[in-house]
Amino acid sequence: MTRVSARTFLAACLAAGSLGFAAPGPRLVQAPMNPAFLAWQQRQLAAIKQEADQALAAKDHRFGYIPEPVAPIALRKPAQDQQFLRALPATFDLRSEGALTAVRNQNPYGTCWTFAAMASLESGLLKAGSGTFDFSEWYLAWFAYHPLSESMPSFYKKTADYGNDPNFDLGGNNTRSTSILSRGTGPVSEASCPYVNGTYTSNDLPKGTESAVLRLRDAHYLGMAFDATTVKNALMTYGALATPIYWEDLCYNSTTRAYRRLNPTDDAHKDETNHLVNIVGWNDTFAKTNFPAGNQPTVDGAWIVRNSWGPSWGESGYFYLSYDSFVYAAVAFSGTTETRGRIYQHDPLGQVGSLGYSDPTCYLSNVFTAQANENLQSVGFYAMTPGTTYEVSIRTGVTGDPSTGTLVHGPQTGTFSTPGYHTLDLSSPVALTTGQKFAVIVKLTTPGYNYPAAVEYAYTNYSDSATANPGESYLSGDGASWEDITGWKASANVCLKAIAAPPASPAPAIQAITPATGYAGSTVTLSGNGFAGATAVNFTGAAATTYVIPNDWELVATVPSGATTGPISVTTPAGTATSGTFTVTAAPEVTVSIAPQIQGYVVGQTKQFTATVTGNTNTAVTWSSTPAGLVSTTGLFTAPASATTSVTITATSAADTSKSASLSFPVRDRNLNTQGSVDVVDLATLSKYYGATGLAVGDAASCCDLNGDGKVDDDDITLFFLGF
């Protein structure tokens, strides 16, 4: 990594706004940015891609980590939370706990950061007993650098650092994973968006229509230079930890699967990392002699670490990391399987910096406009230190800054034992009305840290896509006088989210059924209430084949076969409604007819046929022809270019495929006797179709001048074969 001079660091701080914005009252100040991030930024801006100390990483697909812009806060002591007060065993392994999914392989892309985050999230769900999940790393990596929608932009687009691929070698970190997941971009299942270990095509790329199967709830940041007790307790509490390290092959003993690399003391390489892995356990008795000769710790013990280089690497994909190796800011991701609802947010790119008023206490707020009648249930925001205390309030009917409007909730108070992103459930939901402005207000106190407010803003080569509007995000030193932070930086927003859900559906009730009887395949309309979100319609125990819900008081369902006299029921999230009985009768005989009925056709002509289906409410048909391809799906017939003795078109009932109607006819050339021109012989042939006998040539006009122009010619023959 490049050494950053004091002058360069000062210039970077000025560019990032870290010297503050002079506002009336207390001065708004930004926390110093992560020196490792600034050094990485310098390399980006200078386009230095082949530095000596980065020669391995520059083209090595195994990695993919880039530094976070905000330096994690050191956890000074183990968090004094009841869940952490326990006796610790000498060994612990999440594999034996059944709290890890299968080892994956990131090859050939620099996507380690996505694998570490997904493994942590999957492990946390297993640890909590919420089920087994397999999340898509491909989806997370793609939508970091490609917009999902206008409100879900990409972070930025730049040259790949760790490999050659312009989409999947761009790198990331735990902060980026937190930002993407907390905004609601995934996670999606691996089955819906599988990883490609090799060359991919456009068909392999995420579509954005894949359904999220989870919502991020918390990202517990364990901070810099954490102690072993904190990490061990976190593993037993949360599951696998996503952990940045610096990988260097010389530090690895491939026989014992042991790795040791200390944090360099020189500023040019201090806190250097290039890879994200997962700590999944520990072994206090792991022999110090297992580590490479000349690079061995003074005491036994090691972390058990899961890599993302496939199960054939290391010890079935795992290795051992010495306790004294440098580990940078581990994170435990946890989620909730509740995915319904709307996320109100102004920070789709997440935290880039932190602000404050040179005091551990700061008030932050976002103002939103309700998009529907719904209930505000949760808020999400960042805690910058262990022991961060909060007071959350909600105001509705806001007309200006957050102090306007009516206080409808709070203050709701509490403490977070770990830094990171957290979701807080409101003690009671707040009803929102479409178009109503509301403010989420949070008072934060971060012990020993004077920059409590996490903020998003545009930063070159990291969060270029960030935008903001006046009237969205505010900060205050006292909770009374608020400043719009676009005055500090035009692209800045507070990292604070509000999560709302639809109001509870009324108990379902079927009030009327039309018709009262029907047959298999017919449709009925159910009138009532509480149909929103219906998941099943049953007729006397037999499931309806299809159903639609135009609104909450009307439901149209298709009667299944096999149902006899009995009740209709509708199952919804609010419960099951049963009302009345329904009798399935024998379906009437289905008949199909085709119009018009014609006797022949002329080459190259077109004709629109229609089909009539009786005996079923489903009047759809499928069209076919012999020879094939002469009739469209709508019944438009196009005669072939050459004459043929017989063409058949068929209309088949979609309701009963055993019922159909066919029409056969010849397709003739206009020159009926093939003598090169239309003559009296053709006219005689024409008159024969009319059933005349012994017709003289002179009489031809009296029967065959179909268009009344005083002569018998090609136009009359055409009209004849068109059925006129």
DSSP for 166-220?
Answer: TTTSS-B-HHHHHHHHHTT---BBGGGS---SS---GGGS--S-SPB--EEEEEE
Distance of CA 336 to the CA centre of its chain: 15
Q: Is 674 left (phi over 0), alpha (psi -120 to 50) or beta?
A: left
Question: Rounded CA gap, 601 and 32, in Å?
Answer: 85
CA 709 to CA 724: how far, in whole Å?
15
For 433-487, what is each residue's pLDDT tens digit?
Answer: 999 999 999 999 999 999 999 999 999 889 999 999 999 999 999 999 999 999 9
Q: What gap in Å lies between CA 505 and CA 535, rounded to an integer?
A: 13
What pLDDT does residue 612 have? 93
Between 46 and 250, the higher pLDDT residue:
250
Q: Write the CB contacts of 343 (distance below 8 Å, at least 6 apart in sequence).
A: 183, 184, 497, 498, 499
User: For 523-550, how does the pLDDT look when each residue is reduced to its tens digit (9 = 90+)?
Assistant: 888 888 888 778 888 888 888 887 777 6
Q: What percentage of residues in the chain have a pLDDT greater than 90? A: 52
Per-residue DSSP letter, 315 = B
Does the pLDDT at position 666 exceed 70? Answer: yes
Prediction pTM value: 0.68
Kindly tell me if the per-residue pLDDT of 701 is higher than 60.
no
Tell which phi-psi region holds residue 128, choosing left (phi > 0), alpha (psi between -120 and 50) or beta. Answer: alpha
- Which of 12-21, 630-639, 676-685 shows the lowest mean pLDDT across its residues? 12-21
Edge-to-edge order in the sheet of strand 523-529: 509-514, 523-529, 554-558, 547-551
Which of 155-169, 359-373, 652-666 has the least mean pLDDT?
155-169
Q: How many CA atoms lie within 13 A of 223 on its CB side?
A: 21
Could you tell me what percent of the chain has a pLDDT over 70? 82
Say whether pLDDT at 675 is over 60.
Answer: no
Does residue 159 have a pLDDT over 80?
no
Q: Of 66-70, 357-361, 648-652, where does mean pLDDT reach its minimum?
A: 66-70
Alpha helices (H) in 452-596, listed in sequence order:
none
Query: How far is 99 from 86, CA to CA, in rounded Å?
Result: 20
Find how far residue 400's CA is from the centre of its chain.
Answer: 33
pLDDT band at 186 (very low <50, low <70, confident <90, very high): confident
Read off the pLDDT of residues 388-434 as tens digits, 9 standing for 90 and up: 999 999 999 999 999 998 999 999 999 998 899 999 999 999 999 99
Q: Angle 112-127/174-182 helices, nearest 10 degrees?
A: 60
> What is the band of 674 on the pLDDT scale with cuts at 50, 70, 90?
low
Q: What is the pLDDT of residue 676?
A: 52
Q: Which residue has the higher pLDDT, 370 or 554?
A: 370
pLDDT at residue 220 above 70?
Answer: yes
pLDDT for the residue 57: 43
- What pLDDT is recorded for position 303? 96
Q: What is the pLDDT of residue 406?
A: 96
The SS3 call for residue 127 is: helix
* pLDDT reported for residue 41: 75
Gap between the Cα atoms of 112 and 161, Å rounded? 13
Q: Does residue 1 register a pLDDT over 60?
A: no
The 3-class secondary structure across 602-666, one letter per residue, is ECCCEEECEEEEECCCCCCEEEEEECCCCECCCCEEECCCCCEEEEEEEEEECCCCCCEEEEEEE
Q: Per DSSP, what are the bridge partners of residue 648? A: 626, 664
Return the closest-CA partner of residue 111 out of 192, 42, 203, 177. Answer: 177
CA pair distance 48, 268, nearest whole angstrom: 15
Contact call for residues 618 and 654 (beta carbons, < 8 A): yes
pLDDT band for 682, please (50, 70, 90 cuts): low
Per-residue pLDDT, averaged over 576-602, amounts to 82
The confidence score (pLDDT) of residue 430 equals: 95
DSSP state, 697?
Answer: G
The average pLDDT across 165-189 equals 92
Which of 213, 465, 461, 224 shows the shortest CA–CA distance to 350? 465
User: Taken in order 98, 99, 100, 101, is the CA torsion positive or negative?
Assistant: positive
pLDDT attached to residue 708: 56
Rounded Cα distance, 358 and 356, in Å:
6
pLDDT at 589 > cutoff 90: no
Q: At what angle do helices 714-721 and 680-689 cross, to 10 degrees?
A: 20
| Statement: residue 681 has pLDDT above 70 | no
DSSP per-residue codes, 136-171:
-HHHHHHHHSS-SBTTB--S-----SSSS-TTTSS-
- Give residue 644's pLDDT: 86
pLDDT confidence tier of residue 260, bands split at 50, 70 and 90: very high
Q: What are phi and psi of 671, to 5 degrees?
A: -85, 90
Confidence grade of residue 27 (pLDDT, cut at 50, 70, 90): confident
Q: Smallest Cα–Cα separation from 275: which of 333, 319, 218, 230?
A: 319
pLDDT at 53: 40
Statement: residue 79 has pLDDT above 50: no
pLDDT at 229: 85
Mean pLDDT computed over 266-273: 74
Query: Above 70 in pLDDT, residue 717?
Result: no
Q: Residues near 576 by Cβ (< 8 Å), separated by ≥ 6? A: 508, 569, 570
For residue 619, give the nearest of 573, 641, 588, 598 by alpha carbon: 588
Residue 161 in contact with residue 1, Cβ under 8 Å? no
pLDDT at 11: 41
3-class DSSP assignment, residue 15? helix
Q: How confident is the model at residue 333 (pLDDT cuts 50, 70, 90)?
A: very high
Note the pLDDT of residue 721.
53
Q: How far apart are CA 261 and CA 270, in angstroms?
A: 12
Q: Residues 340-351: what's their mean pLDDT? A: 93
Residue 517 is predicted with a pLDDT of: 84
Average pLDDT score over the chain? 84
What would the two tokens of residue 55 be? 């020669």
Of 695 and 30, the structure prediction assigns the larger pLDDT to 30
Residue 7 has pLDDT above 70, yes or no: no
CB burial class (10 A; 0-12, 13-18, 19+) of residue 422? buried
Token pair in block for residue 105 = 């392989």
pLDDT at 434: 94
Q: pLDDT: is 281 or 34 the higher one?
A: 281
